[in-house]
Amino acid sequence: MSDPTAAAAPGSSEARLRAARVRAANLRTAFVLVAIAVTFFAAVIASKSMGGYAVGLTIVGFAAFAFIAFAIGRNLVGADRVE
């Protein structure tokens, strides 16, 4: 977290602004993670409905790496920027 609320007096507008910023960051993170979960759920069924054996495995395997690399990378970059 970049903005320690310790620096702002409780109840002050600065503290409220910082709290709102944290809430927005929380929601953004959650949406990314929900997207991963939903995509995996839908993709595994879709790939089995439409694709063959190898296609399905390739999609799931690629998606696993792509999503994890994206999610970890994004958050690590974000964390480095604010610390």
Distance of CA 41 to the CA centre of its chain: 16
Please identify, using beta-carbon distances, which residue of 6 and 13 lies nearer to another protein.
6
Distances (CA, A) of 6 to 16, 20, 40, 69, 83: 12, 15, 39, 33, 16
Is 61 a binding residue for another protein by CB under 8 A? The answer is yes
The vertex-4 CA angle with 17 and 23, nearest 5°, equals 45
- Of 24, 33, 20, 23, the closest CA to residue 74 belongs to 33
Interaction pattern, residues 17-56, with another protein; x per rule: CB under 8 A: -----x--xx--xx--xx-xxxxxxxxxx--xx---x--x
Decide: is 64 part of the binding site for another protein (CB under 8 A). yes
Interface residues toward another protein, by CB under 8 A: 1, 4-6, 10, 22, 25-26, 29-30, 33-34, 36-45, 48-49, 53, 56-57, 60-61, 64-65, 67-68, 71-72, 75-76, 78-79, 83
